Structures are given as C-alpha cells and as structure tokens.
C-alpha cells in the first residue's frame, strides 16, 4: 500500500512520518517512533495495554488509525515522567506494588491520568469503574487502588506546598 506523509504530535514533539493509511497508531508508535512503552496485549481493544491519551482522553491505540490522530496531542507513557523524575502516580505504582509484571502498567497509568484530569478526587467506585477498561492478570487490582490513593495524596500535598 502506498505510504502517505503525516505529522504526529507525540509527547510534545512533532514527527513527520510516512505511513500506510491503514497503519494503526500503536504500530506507528512502537515501530516507527520506537516508543515501545505502549503494549499490545490483544488486538481488539479488550485489554487496554495500549492506552494513550489523545487530547487528554484515554484511547486504545491498537484500533485507532494513526492518520486520524493528526493535529491532536498524543501522550504516551514515555511522556508521563517530568523534569527527569517519576510522576507521583509512577512512583506510587512502584511503592505500592501496583505493577508486578508491568506489562499492563503503562496502559493503567494512562487511564489513571485521564481519570484524575477529569476528577482529581475520585471515589473508590469511580476508580474501579475507570480501571475496568484495562485488564491486569497479576495484581487483582487491589494494590493499584492503594497506589492511586497515595498518588492523589502526594499530588494534593504537592499542590498545597506550592
């Protein structure tokens, strides 16, 4: 298939790419941009391991055409840590055992980021509902809730200190 030139804005940087029009965003991120943090756990948007933010909204990149994301802000897990240090949610996932094998973790963190952007102080039911878009086979989710709670507390403390 003939390739076409597109521009993708990923983690604040603009990339000019020649891709097949049918190329999926996940493949472009992983193969063309070498951003392998977003994972392929299934092929049908049922596991959420490929979740990225498109203009701040959590989307599963394995069933999204890359060409449809032109002129949108794409954030991947590689764009989450800031100023050379772990974001609160990343630190908390490590501390509280939210990540075991870690394969689903990038997707979960993107989902959590989108949740917290919308609702900075979610109830446990809100968290459960939001996380239900992603699957994990290691943790049974419990330690993720603790991680999220602790990240929210850390963010609030950080905000209060400012």
Partner 1 sequence: MTDFSIIGKPTAMVDAAEKTTGGGKYTDDLSVPGMLVGKILHSPYPHARIRRIDASRAEKLDGVLAVVVGKDAPNPYGILPVGHDEYALALDKVRYVGDNVACVVAVSEAIAEKAVELIDVEYEVLPAYFDPEESMKAQRDLIHDNKPGNLEKDYHHAFGDPDKGFAEANHIAEARFIANEVTHAAMEPHSTLASFELDPHTGKMGRLTVWSSTQVPYYLQHKLSLVLEMPMAQIRVIKPLVGGGFGGKSEVIPIEIIAAIAARKAQAPVKITYTREEVFWAHRGRPRTIIDLKTGITNDGRITCVKARVVQDGGAYCSYGVVTILYSGALLGALYDIPNIQYDGYRVLTNKPACGAMRGHGTVNVRFAFESQLDELAAKIGMDPAEIRQRNLLKPPCITVNGLRVQSYGLPECIEKTVERSGWKQRRGKLPRGRGLGIACSHYVSGAANSIIRSDMPHSTVNIKIDRDGGVVVYTGASEIGQGSDTMTAQVAAEVLGCSLARVRIIAADTDLTPIDIGSYSSRVTFMAGNATLRAAEDVKKRIAAAAAKKMNCAAEDLVFREDVVFKKGSVPPTAKRDEAEEVEVTQAGASVSGRVEGQILRGSLQQKRKEEGPKDWMTFEEAVVAAIDFHGALTGTGSYAPPQEARGGKHKGGGVGPSPAYSYSAQVAEVSVDEDTGEVTVHKVWAAHDCGRALNPVSVEGQIIGSVWMGMGQALTEEMVWKDGMLMNAGMLEYRSPSSVESPEVEPIIVESIDPEGPFGAKECSEGSLAATIPAISNAIYDAVGVRLHESPFTPERVLAALRAKRKDKALNLTEGVDPTSPARFREHGGSLCFKGKGPERHPLDPAHRQAPAVSGGTD
Enumerate binding residues for partner 1 (CB under 8 A): 30-31, 35-44, 46-47, 49, 76-78, 80-81, 86, 89-91, 93-97, 99-106, 109, 127-129, 131-132, 134-144
Q: How far is the CB of 161 from partner 1 (least distance, A)?
A: 20
Written as six digits, the tokens of 112 are 């959590």
Q: How far is the CB of 45 from partner 1 (least distance, A)?
A: 9
Q: How far is the CB of 101 from partner 1 (least distance, A)?
A: 3
Q: How far is the CB of 36 from partner 1 (least distance, A)?
A: 4
Nearer to partner 1, 105 or 114 (CB): 105
Nearer to partner 1, 6 or 107 (CB): 107
Distance from the first to the final alpha carbon of the chain: 53
Written as six digits, the tokens of 7 are 């521009």
Q: Is 8 helix (H, G, I), strand (E, B) or coil?
A: strand
Q: Do residues 9 and 52 lie in contact, with contact meaning Cβ atoms separated by under 8 Å?
A: no
C-alpha 61/C-alpha 84 separation (Å) is 26
Note the residue count of the chain: 162
The residues with which 5 forms a beta bridge, in sequence order, are 18
The residues with which 16 forms a beta bridge, in sequence order, are 7
The enclosing H or E element of 160 equals helix 142-161
Q: Do residues 106 and 84 lie in contact, with contact meaning Cβ atoms separated by under 8 Å?
A: no
Nearer to partner 1, 71 or 116 (CB): 116
Q: How far is the CB of 34 from partner 1 (least distance, A)?
A: 8
Nearer to partner 1, 24 or 69 (CB): 24
Nearer to partner 1, 71 or 86 (CB): 86
């Amino acid at each position: 298939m003939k390739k076409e030139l597109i521009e993708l804005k990923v983690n604040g940087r603009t990339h000019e790419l020649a891709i097949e029009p049918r190329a999926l965003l996940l493949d472009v991120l992983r193969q063309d941009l070498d951003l392998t943090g977003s994972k392929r756990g299934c092929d049908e948007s049922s596991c959420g391991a490929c979740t990225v933010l498109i203009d701040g909204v959590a989307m599963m990149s394995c069933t999204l055409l890359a060409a449809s994301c032109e002129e949108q802000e794409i954030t991947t897990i590689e764009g989450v840590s800031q100023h050379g240090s772990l974001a609160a949610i990343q630190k908390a996932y490590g501390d509280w055992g939210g990540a075991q094998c870690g394969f689903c973790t990038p997707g979960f963190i993107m989902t959590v980021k989108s949740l917290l952007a919308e609702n900075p102080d979610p109830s446990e039911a809100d968290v459960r509902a939001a996380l239900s878009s992603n699957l994990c086979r290691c943790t049974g989710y419990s330690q993720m809730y603790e991680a999220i709670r602790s990240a929210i507390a850390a963010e609030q403390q950080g905000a209060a200190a400012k």
